[in-house]
């Protein structure tokens, strides 16, 4: 399971040398990145197809800001859904090296096992359901299991007995979100019954807040009421945790023994960017990039895209990018998104198809085939995921989590 830093940081040139396809100039011509492992093929020099850059420095900044906001509470980093688009194994390896990160949390069993396979050695919490067969594999990998069903004892005890050692669990309580967890109304006798078995080792107790600022305090009150009564009854609860990124910002009394953020670690604000920017400085740790594959000149009346949703009202230059909604770039991008080429922003026009989108260059030919394009990332305020989400009327979570997992991920130093 161990992975050396050298293996993890195998190098690969990402961008073209000066003069590629007609004299490309600027800092992009000397950009280099680090590949995810030596086994992964380096990205071809001058690659056109899209790729994702992961910025460890910005991940570290997210950890620092969460730590500051939470009063230096330990962090259980949620890396579900492919590490919020950055790549599960990549962010797992980066975050486990940060001493402020106590462990990692995921929702699917396969994610937990993938983290172990990627070399993550810190504690991993599975917040979702597991089958008996997968439960044994997870327990063997020392993944901590969430329990929340009436038959939790019957689910866990056979695993412990088969392995000949205690199985680590977290009590998962539903305090009003109504999605997962044992109802707080029924939790106390259930917790007492589970705690009687020495084969079950409690590592924590948690709930999930609905991110309703009026109701979150009531959820927290219910949670603390149950856990206090459980402790009075002799139940070992382990550390208590409730605050995801939204709670880190907006419910300080819910920081408890540790915090459980996700999106804030990756450089985006969870719910109210205007207010949250005043509270913390985050920078996107993800950058979506590609290269221009076609430049053409349109005459007045020429259309762009399926169904001609955009028609030129005057002669203009346009550029085609090999990025579409199959790559995770949203269809809504044609409603106001911009891209960065040669330090200049250009609007997306027409319709975003599965594999392509088109940008309006304008009256003058200022871009060319092979130019580096940034479609999302920290390089301009317009490209920050929160700003893009607000502009397009979509969720910032969708922007990040829907980035195609098959796109290459590379680490970049900034």
CATH code, 42: 2.40.37.10
Query: What b/e sequence results for 178-211 when a residue is b if at least 16 CB atoms lie within 10 Å of its CB, and e otherwise?
Result: eebbbebeebbebbeebbeeebbbbbbbbbbbeb
Give the model's confidence band at 414: pLDDT under 50 very low, under 70 low, under 90 confident, else very high: confident
Residue 27's nearest CA partner among 376, 388, 379, 411 is 379
- The mean pLDDT value for 241-259 works out to 98
Residue 322's nearest CA partner among 402, 407, 396, 389 is 407
Mean of pLDDT over the chain? 91
Judge if 132 and 184 occupy the same domain: yes
Judge if 168 and 308 occupy the same domain: no
Judge if 175 and 241 occupy the same domain: yes
Query: What b/e sequence results for 105-123 when a residue is b if at least 16 CB atoms lie within 10 Å of its CB, and e otherwise?
Result: bbbbbebbbbbbebbbebb
Predicted confidence (pLDDT) at residue 164 exceeds the cutoff of 80: yes
| Residue 3 lies inside a defined structural domain of this protein | no
Judge if 37 and 75 occupy the same domain: no
Is residue 356 within 8 Å of 365, Cβ to Cβ?
Answer: no
Judge if 220 and 73 occupy the same domain: yes
Judge if 78 and 212 occupy the same domain: yes
Is residue 252 within 8 Å of 210, Cβ to Cβ?
Answer: no
Judge if 153 and 64 occupy the same domain: yes
pLDDT tens digits for range 321-373: 999 999 999 999 999 999 999 999 999 999 999 999 999 999 999 999 999 99
User: Containing domain of residue 254, as a range?
Assistant: 56-276
Judge if 62 and 149 occupy the same domain: yes
Distance, in Å, from the CA atom of 216 to the CA atom of 319, rounded to the nearest integer, reads 48
Cα 343 to Cα 27, 178, 368, 372, 386: the distances in Å are 10, 47, 14, 10, 20
Is residue 384 within 8 Å of 378, Cβ to Cβ?
Answer: yes
| Residue 1 lies inside a defined structural domain of this protein | no
- Identify the CATH number of the domain in which residue 205 sits: 3.20.20.10
Judge if 346 and 201 occupy the same domain: no
Judge if 64 and 50 occupy the same domain: no
**Which of the pair, 407 or 18, is modelled with greater confidence?**
407
pLDDT tens digits for range 20-77: 222 233 333 223 344 443 334 568 788 999 999 999 999 999 999 999 999 999 999 9
Structure tokens at 68: 């500051």
Distance, in Å, from the CA atom of 68 to the CA atom of 387, rounded to the nearest integer, reads 24
167 in helix, strand or coil?
Answer: strand
How does DSSP classify residue 48?
-
């Amino acid at each position: 399971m161990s992975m050396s830093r050298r293996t993890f940081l195998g190098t690969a040139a990402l961008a073209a040398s000066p003069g590629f396809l007609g004299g490309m100039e600027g800092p992009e011509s000397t950009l280099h990145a680090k590949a995810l492992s030596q086994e992964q093929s380096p990205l071809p020099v001058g690659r056109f197809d899209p790729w994702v850059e992961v910025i460890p420095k910005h991940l570290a900044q997210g950890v620092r800001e969460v730590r500051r906001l939470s009063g230096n509470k330990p962090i259980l980093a949620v890396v579900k859904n492919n590490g919020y688009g950055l790549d599960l194994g990549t962010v797992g390896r980066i975050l486990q090296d940060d001493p402020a990160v106590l462990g990692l949390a995921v929702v699917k069993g396969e994610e937990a096992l993938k983290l172990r396979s990627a070399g993550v050695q810190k504690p991993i919490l599975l917040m979702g359901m597991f089958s008996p067969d997968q439960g044994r594999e997870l327990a063997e990998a020392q993944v901590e299991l969430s329990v929340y069903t009436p038959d939790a004892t019957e689910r866990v005890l056979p695993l412990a007995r088969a392995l000949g050692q205690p199985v680590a669990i977290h009590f998962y309580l539903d305090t009003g979100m109504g999605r997962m967890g044992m109802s707080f109304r029924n939790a106390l006798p259930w917790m007492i019954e589970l705690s009687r078995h020495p084969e079950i080792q409690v590592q924590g107790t948690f709930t999930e807040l609905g991110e309703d600022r009026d109701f979150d305090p009531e959820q927290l009150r219910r949670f603390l009421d149950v856990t206090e009564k459980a402790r009075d009854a002799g139940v070992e609860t382990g550390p208590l945790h409730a605050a995801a990124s939204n709670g880190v910002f907006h419910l300080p009394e819910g920081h408890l023994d540790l915090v459980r953020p996700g999106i804030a670690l990756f450089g985006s604000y969870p719910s109210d960017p205007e207010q949250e920017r005043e509270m913390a400085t985050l920078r996107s740790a993800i950058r979506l990039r590609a290269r221009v594959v076609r430049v053409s000149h349109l005459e007045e009346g020429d259309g762009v895209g399926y169904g001609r949703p955009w028609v030129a009202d005057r002669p203009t230059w346009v550029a085609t990018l090999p990025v579409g909604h199959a790559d995770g770039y949203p269809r809504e991008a044609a409603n106001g998104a911009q891209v960065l080429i040669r330090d200049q922003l250009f609007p997306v026009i027409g319709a975003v198809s599965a594999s392509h989108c088109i940008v309006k260059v304008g009256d003058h030919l200022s871009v060319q085939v092979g130019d580096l394009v940034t479609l999302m990332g920290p390089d301009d305020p317009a490209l920050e995921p929160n700003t893009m989400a607000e502009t397009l009327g979509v969720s910032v979570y969708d922007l990040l989590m829907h980035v195609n997992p098959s796109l290459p991920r590379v680490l970049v130093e900034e």
